[in-house]
Each structure stands twice: as structure tokens, then as C-alpha cells.
Structure 1
Amino acid sequence: MSIDFKQVIEENKEPFYQDLDQVMQIESVKGTPAKNAPFGTGPKAALETVIALAQKYGFKTAIVNDAVGYAQWGDDEDYIGVVGHLDVVPAGEGWSFPPFKLSKRDQRFYGRGILDNKGPILSCLFGLKLLKDLNLPINKTIRIVFGTDEESGSGDIPLYLSEEKAPQFGFTPDCKYPIVYGERGIVNYEILTPLSEEELKRLGDFIGDQARDHVPDELSVTIDDKKVSVTGKRAPSNAPELGENAIMLLAEKILQEQALSGKLAEYFSWIVASLAEQHYGEGLGIDFLDADSGKLMITPYELIKKDDQLSLSLAIRYPVSVTEAEVTTALEKHLPPKSRLTVVRRIESSHFPKEDPNVQALSAIYEEVTGLDGTPVTTTGATYARFVPNIVAFGPSFPGQKGIAHNQDEYMDEEDLLLNMDIYMQAMLKLIE
């Protein structure tokens, strides 16, 4: 049976947009744990809304430990899994559109989560509905799985796997194309540098939006009661080269204005010399690289006063052939005097055999639909593929599309959203035939 997937999608896109908008309007940012909502009421509301849609589409559904839901087609215990998430990062400032609504201008959709990850995972759900509506025969059970804590450490996945089997194989539509078979290791460090009480009295608190998921874009501090402020450019922390880091800009401005002297001036000089426009660790002696995953990547993301110390936090993504211990050993040799290095977060690298027949099948589908090279690749990002056994990352961003997800005016072109649905429909059908 020959199916014109593009025509099927075109005929049904308006109902899809309506359902997607319903989910986009929920501010599903992680919040305080509540009864039956371990990651806050926003993510749980999004989960319940999507499960209601899945029931309307005619799927078997369930919510596991109030943390993860699924829509299932088929009755077997073993299943193919498509694993995405409904939680989103905070909106932040500077939007041209309402962040929690599906907006459209010039054939481009805007809204928090349109790319990461409500748009892609809802396109999988709706695409599976279209396949089911065609009454196609299937030989394997498939589940669309909806998480609610991917952006904050994937604490939802252990709650799911404690009750449910892992998929036989599957993918997460939460990275890039083509198939991502390997994800770099991630380690976050805190560098604590002691300073005298007299020196620290000269500094006020550092004020700005600083978090590990993005390059900080605004930062200010008072020095001897005079405010020093800078404005940079926000970017995802796994694409620091696309941003302008406010920590670096502030350090440079302090030095240019000769606002500080002594140990404080030496500290900010170290920041500039070691980190400014040195995204691959070359200023700290950690410029590791390998053929599969490329260069190590470093993002300074938080500078604060902490007791009698200054605390600088770094997010590092290192190649799959490198160990965390190697990074730590090298980094310790390039710190300011008397500084202490602490690991505050670690996620080991992940690797899936790129020769696997299912990986090759996804690669072939991608090449057939897009005409682009489908050779499997690695990523600097962190997805559910690190936490859910037997899955790889697959889409939704196409080559050349980078640094969109966690920014203001997060967007996805309508053409790309529908092309994703086409790819995912054909991929799911191939995996369950």
C-alpha cells in the first residue's frame, strides 16, 4: 500500500495545530513538588492534557507514578518507544510573542516548547494517530512516552522504569538530525576562590539570570557602591559560541575601567585570560577532542559571592573518548591560587552501536524523505537517550539549525514541523511493520 504521507499530513494539519496550541498554553516549568505532581503542577497539567488527547485519538493510555505518561498502539508487553518531554525551561525575558501560546508569523511558529519538545513529541503522537486512522497492520506494539522532568535532570525516568519495561528500541525527538548515536559526557564544576573579607566588601551581589541551561546575557554588580552592568546574548549552554557571555563581558569591563585592584583584579584577569572567547577549553588546558565527537566545550554559567569566596560554575561537555577524571586533573592545574574544584553535576557519556539495523533503518528513512546525508552523528546535548535503555536521539533540528531551543522567541518553521511529522510517521511505521 502506497501512502502519500505529505498529503495525509496536509489534510489534517489544522486539527493538529489546535491540539498543539492547547498544550503550548500550559506553563509546564518545573515547580515545587505537590500532591500527585512530583515536578510541580505545570508539568503534571501538561501530562494530563496530552493523555486526554491520546485517549481522544483512541490509544491505550496510562500515567506512571504521576511522572510519565504513555499512549500505546498494540497490546504486547514488548514495545517500540518514542520518548519525549512536556516540561520546558522558564520563558525568560525579551519575547516578541506570548511565550506560552502557539503563535505564527510568516510561516514560522513561536512559543516555549515548540522545538523543545512539545512540538516534536506532539507531532509523533498525532502522526501515530494518522497511521492508526489508516487501519494499517502492525506487527509490534508502539508507545509514545511523555516525560515531565527532562530539563531538570530526568528524575522522571527512574519513576517510569520502576514500573514499566524499557523499550526494545526507540528514539527521542529531542536533539538533531540525522540519528545521534553518541552523546558527550557532561560535568559541571564549581570553582571556589577564597578572598579576604576586606576585598569582598567592595563587591555587592552579582545580579542576573544565571542558570546551567544557558549562557547568561545580563549581569551587574556594585563595586564600592557604583553599579557596573553588561548585556550579552543568551544561547543554550551547549552552544556557547552562539552567545555573548555576560560573565566574560563583566570581567572585561571591570578590568577596562580599572574598578578593582589586588587579588580581585587578578581574579577577573584570570577569568578573561582563561575563558573569554575560549569555548573549547584551550585557556584551561582541557582542549580535548576526538574524531567522533569533536572538541570539548565549556560554558561559564554562574558567578556569585559565597561566604568568603567567589564561586564560578562551569558546564563542560567532553568527547566520548575522554574521561571526567582526565578533565578534572587537567583543569586543577589552571585554577587561581588556593582555589578548590568541586563536581556539582555529572552525566556520563552514552553510546549506541551505529551499525544496529534499527539505526540504519532510521538513517535510510531520513535520507529518503529529505535527500540529505543520514550518516549517524554525536551531540554535545543531553537527552533521554542517556537514561532510557535502547533509544537514540533522532531530530527535530536539521543541519545548520542550532541555538534555538532555550532562547527568547523559540521557534520552528511550519515547513519543518510538518516535515518532522512526515519523517516520524515513516520511521514509526518502519519500526513496527
Structure 2
Amino acid sequence: METIRTRIKTAIQTNQQHFLEELTKIMEVPSVKGQAEVGAPFGKEPRRALETTLALAESYGFQTEIVNDAVGFAQYGNDPEYIGIVGHLDVVPAGSGWDFPPFSLSEQDGRLFGRGILDNKGPVFACLYGLKLLKELDIPLEKTVRVIFGTDEESGSADLPLYLAKEQPPIFGFTPDCKYPVVYGERGIVNIELITPFSEADLSALGSIEGDQAKDHVPDELIVDLKNGQQVEVIGKRAPTNAPELGVNAITLLAEKLMNEASLAESLKKYFKWVFDSLHEKHYGEGFNLALVDEDSGKLILTPYELRKTDKELVLSIAIRYPVTFQEEEIIERVHAIVLAHTEVVIVRSMKGTNFPKDDPNVLALAEVYEKVTGLDGTPVTTTGATYARTMPNIVAFGPSFPGQKGIAHNKNEYMDLNDLLLNLEIYTLALYKLAAKK
């Protein structure tokens, strides 16, 4: 493998500029989910990103196909059984406050910036380009390889079921959309809404709660107008919902202010005090009797991500990521026991955990590649995140973030160091060789 690795490293150095130029063409497509159209179930821009990427793959000499208008693939080899690399081309909205054009590829002091450079255009394109390098180096692969490009990962992964309706899953593979080393297990995820009723008279003292609130991040700024003419504004710090400790949640900051607001009814002040006491800086479920932990995956993570008002209710949305050895039913039972009286608990998202055999030979092969290239410990791990491994059979998560890198993907100025991207290119190219070189 060392001789193969040397050839791969040389090819990466020779082709570095071309690799970045080709990646830029994909980065420039603002592939945020849009209105469904004929031939574009997730919007025209994700479809355009898919077509742009497959056009590059065709220019490299690969067979390409779009399946059910939702997923595309580039294939090297003709065997119906294949190694599958499953990434995505859709991205979250850019948001505000960027110092660089979000839909481009900018470089400053060895760091690359752009929406999708880490999540997930950069890494999945590195897999495609790595396959291109193996082909051009005439390194024989015994197994067929498909690099599969999804277009709806950020909005619920409705794309992969459309792919699987027509295509068989890979015999093994990975998604380059998580972290290193190999991720063999993903925690279960359950998102809930806590719907608490109030009288219309009490709620009339509150205006609507304004701010950027979505299930993928900790809200960082919320504003609410009060009936007495006062405006309450809080500023926190945005972070991914699977790493809330890196942020400051504006929901609990708002609750802290409102629980002492004299103009509000006692019922509302009691509610906001409960929100603050149960959730402020209690990222691991301490305030919900959910401080659960296991050896494989660590602590449960609990993140409030949206608070909204209707005419008769306050609705608090919470994301819970629970360890792989626990079950959703136990989580919900504990939630019911802790919420305020008359609160309805509604499950709005349910994703069972994954637990792939960590001693599988292919998993160990990926671990070996990671150790060989980086010199770091490759012992397989688990994650709090949710990847395509929950939807596509027979795959695990593998990269692109290295230990210590967290909370970058959905923020402004999303970045990836150039050296890290090139290191990923080397890892993925060598991994493709390792998985596909022998029957």
C-alpha cells in the first residue's frame, strides 16, 4: 500500500490547482432547498448542482445517471454490486455576516471559505476526484465504485428513499459527512414539540417571537414585542444543535428576561421560569431527568431550538440525541414526567440510532487507512450527528472533520483548511483503493 500511497500523494500535488478549480464550479451553485419543480423535487438549485457535478464526472470518463430526479451517481466499473460513497450537494442557507462570498470558493492564509466547503461539497467532490486519480494512475480496482450525490440531506434525506426505490444499496461504503476516525454508531434522535396552552388574554401580552430558528442550530438572536410597548431582545451565540455547548441559546436567555417581566401574567412568568430552570446551560438533559450516558456514545444531548407563539399556545421545540444503547420510548416517558401540567408532547422527528459492527473488516480497513495517513489513533467511534448512514444500508460515516474540529459547518464563514481538504483527498483516495482493490 505504501507504493500506491506515494503515487497518490504525487498525483494530488500535481493536480491540486485543477482540483480546486473544478470544486469551485460546484461551490458556485447556491444549492439551498427550494420549491419543488418538475424534474427537481428539492428545487432547481440542488438539481443544478447535481447536473454540474455529473458533468464533471462524465468529463473524467465515468458512467453517470440521475435516479428519480433526486440522486445522481458516477460509476467506475460494471459489476451490479458496488462500493458506495454517499455524500450530498445541498447546503443550508448562507445566513448573514459573511466576510467572503458564501457561494464561491475563497482562500485566505491557507483556509478555504464557502457554504458547503466542509458540509458536504468539498469532501464528496474529493471522493469523486480521488476516484479520477485512481483511474488516471491506472491502479486496478476489482470492485465497482459509485460516488453517490444526494440533494436533500439537510432537509430530511427524502432523496435516498427515491434512490433505493430503483437501485440496490452498496455492499459497503461510507459517507464523508461527519468526522474521523470511522463512525460505526450514530445516536438516536427524537425531536419533540412541547405545546402548552394559555388563555388568549394572557398570551395577548406577548407579540410573535422573531428570529432565525431552525432544527439545525442553536438560535442566537430573538426579539419579542410586549403589549406595554417594550421590546425584549436577546443575543446569544449560534452553534449546531448537536454541539449546543459551543453556543449560547437565545431561547433560554429570552426566558430569563421574561420570567421576571412584571407586565406578564403569572402563568407566563411561571412558564418562562420553568424553561430557564430546565434548559439553561443544561445541554445533557439534567433538567429533564435525562442525564443518560453509555460507554459507546457518551452523554445524551438536549437542545431547545425553536420557541413560537400561537393564539392559544406556546410551542417549544427540542432536539434530543440519545446514546446508542437507549430507546426512544424511555426518553419520551421521562419527558412526559417532567413537563408542566396540561403540556402536550408531540414527536415531530424520529430517527433510530445506528450501530454497525465495529470489528467489520471494511471498518477496520478504513481505520487502517486513517492511521496510515495521519498517524493518529483510528479506533472506531460513535457520533451525535445524523448522516446518510441512517438511511442507506451498509455504510458508515468517515470524515471529513479531524479530532478537535467541531461546530463549523452551518455557521457563517464556513471553512476548511486547504491542507485538511488535501489530506482528506489522500485519505479518501487510499480508502477507495483499499475497499475496491480486492474481491
TM range (shorter): over 0.9
Corresponding position of 1:282: 286
Total equivalences in the alignment: 433
Corresponding position of 2:26: 23
Instruction: Pick from 334, 339, 344 the counterpart of residue 335 of structure 1.
Output: 339
- What code does the residue aligned with 1:255 have? M
* 2:410 equivalent to 1:406: yes
- What code does the residue aligned with 2:238 have? R
Tell me how far apart the structure 1 counterparts of residues 111 and 261 of structure 2 sit (CA, whole Å): 43
Change (3 A) 1:2 1:166: closer
Corresponding position of 2:212: 209
Superposed displacement of residue 261, structure 1? 4.2
Change (3 A) 1:403 1:266: same
State the SS of the aligned residue for 2:209. coil
Superposed displacement of residue 306, structure 1? 2.1
Corresponding position of 1:173: 176
State the SS of the aligned residue for 2:319. strand
Corresponding position of 1:307: 311
- What code does the residue aligned with 1:55 have? E
* 2:95 equivalent to 1:92: yes
State the SS of the aligned residue for 2:29. coil
Corresponding position of 1:162: 165
Superposed displacement of residue 146, structure 1? 0.3
- What code does the residue aligned with 1:61 have? T
Alignment of 1:275-424 (within 5 A): 275-424=279-428
Normalising by the residue count of structure 1, what TM-score does the alignment of the two structures yield?
Answer: 0.99
State the SS of the aligned residue for 1:205. strand
Tell me how far apart the structure 2 counterparts of residues 66 and 382 of structure 1 sit (CA, whole Å): 23
| RMSD of aligned residue pairs (Cα, Å) | 1.0
Q: Percent identity?
A: 60
- What code does the residue aligned with 2:371 have? E
Tell me how far apart the structure 1 counterparts of residues 201 and 5 of structure 2 sit (CA, whole Å): 74
Change (3 A) 1:3 1:317: closer
**Which segment is superposed worse, 271-280 or 6-15?**
6-15
- What code does the residue aligned with 2:77 have? G
Corresponding position of 1:233: 237
Per-residue CA shift, 1:106-140, capped at 9, x if unaligned?
10001110000000000111111011000111111
Instruction: Pick from 247, 254, 269 the counterpart of residue 265 of structure 1.
Output: 269
Corresponding position of 1:57: 60
Per-residue CA shift, 1:80-106, capped at 9, x if unaligned?
000000000111111111111111111
Normalising by the residue count of structure 2, what TM-score does the alignment of the two structures yield?
Answer: 0.97
Per-residue CA shift, 1:171-195, capped at 9, x if unaligned?
0000000000000000000001111
State the SS of the aligned residue for 2:233. strand
Alignment of 1:34-113 (within 5 A): 34-113=37-116
Tell me how far apart the structure 2 counterparts of residues 348 and 264 of structure 1 sit (CA, whole Å): 35
Per-residue CA shift, 1:260-312, capped at 9, x if unaligned?
34011101100110000000000011111111011110110000012301000
- Tell me which stretches of 4 or more aligned residues in structure 1 moved more than 4 Å: 256-259
- What code does the residue aligned with 1:207 have? E
Query: Structure 2: which 5+ runs fail to align?
Result: none
State the SS of the aligned residue for 1:303. strand
Tell me how far apart the structure 1 counterparts of residues 140 and 100 of structure 2 sit (CA, whole Å): 42
Tell me how far apart the structure 1 counterparts of residues 310 and 377 of structure 2 sit (CA, whole Å): 49
- What code does the residue aligned with 2:215 have? R
Query: Structure 1: which 5+ runs fail to align?
Result: none
